[in-house]
Structures are given as C-alpha cells and as structure tokens.
Amino acid sequence: MFQNILVPTKIVAAEARLSDNQVTDIYHRTDEHTLAILPEKPEHTGKPRLFSGLQFGMFCLLADLMGSGVKGPLAARIARRVMDAHHRDASVEQWSIVVLENGNVSTLPYNSTELRSGFISGARLAFALVIDLRLYAERVERAIADAPRVIAD
C-alpha cells in the first residue's frame, strides 16, 4: 500500500501541514512511540531525515490527530499502534483501535470488528477509533507525484 521510497522532511512536513517549528518540536520528543514512527536522525549535520512511505503516512496521521486536539504523546501512541498493525498485516486498509470498558486496547482490522453490538470478545466496548490507511497512502503518492524532481551526478 505504501511505496518503497525515501522522502525528505521538507516534503513530509508540507503534506502534513506542519510548520518548521512544529516539526522541530516533534523531532525533539523522546517518548518511545514518537521515536518509533520517525526515521533515524542523520549521521551528518545538515542532512534531512528520510522517511519511508509508511513513516510518511504515520507522520501525517500524527499531525492530523494533533490538529484535531489529540495531545502529542497520545497521537504518537495511536500512530505507532497503526504502524505496528500494518507491519503485522499490510493487506488491511482500515484499522480499528478498540478500547474496552475493562481498559484493554486492541488494534483490529475494521472489517472483522462488529462495533454495533457494543461488545468485543465478550467485553463491553467503551469506544473505537477507525483509521483508513488508504487515505494516508494516497496522500503519500500525491505528495511524491507533486514533488520536484532532482537529478544528481
């Protein structure tokens, strides 16, 4: 679903609709969930971080969640759950993050969750969040298609 590419921060930040200050703030976070969705810091100063297609999509998801009022650490935890779920099964296009009344949290393929009953595996559903990865894969593709091409020696 996500292209096998490397994309510099400038293109990722523009598609995520984040200012340089917002990107810098995210880069300076040290929580494990934020670090898990970001590419490694470059070895040489002045070089951009290069995002894989999936990292690009997860960064956009993080930005969308934060733009909707979700605090950064929780937004990063959600993005990481979706990224980990995608690693387990890349064929799933929509994921549900299900929170049960007993406090358990699961990330399940949306088409295999019956949310209308109010119960998941015998436990009462508190709430669910649905993430459509197709949207993020399309955003990555569009950003790459619109990016200027650089030809090096």
Residues β-bridged to residue 94? 132
Kindly state the percentage of the chain with pLDDT values over 70. Answer: 97
Per-residue 3-state assignment (H helix, E strand, C coil) for 59-116: HHHHHHHHHCCCCHHHHHHHHHHHHHHHHHCCCCCEEEEEEECCCCEEEEEHHHCCCC
Between 114 and 99, where is the model more confident? 99
Residue at 95 is within a domain: no
Please give the residue range of the domain that contains residue 138.
Answer: 7-90+134-146
Q: Assess contact for 66 and 75: CB atoms under 8 A.
A: yes
Sequence-ordered list of residues with C-beta below 8 angstroms from that of 127, at least 6 positions apart, any chain: 99
Give pLDDT, residue 153.
Answer: 47
Domains identified in the chain, total number:
1
Domain assignment present for residue 29? The answer is yes
Judge whether 43 lies within some domain.
yes
pLDDT tens-digit map of 141-152? 999 998 877 655
Section 67-88 average pLDDT:
96
Residue 101 pLDDT: 94
Angstrom CA distances, 93 to 17, 103, 109, stand at 23, 25, 8
- Across 34-38, average pLDDT: 96
- Give domain status of residue 23, yes or no: yes
Given pLDDT bands bounded at 50, 70 and 90, which one contains residue 87?
A: very high
The answer to the question of residue 127 being in a domain is no
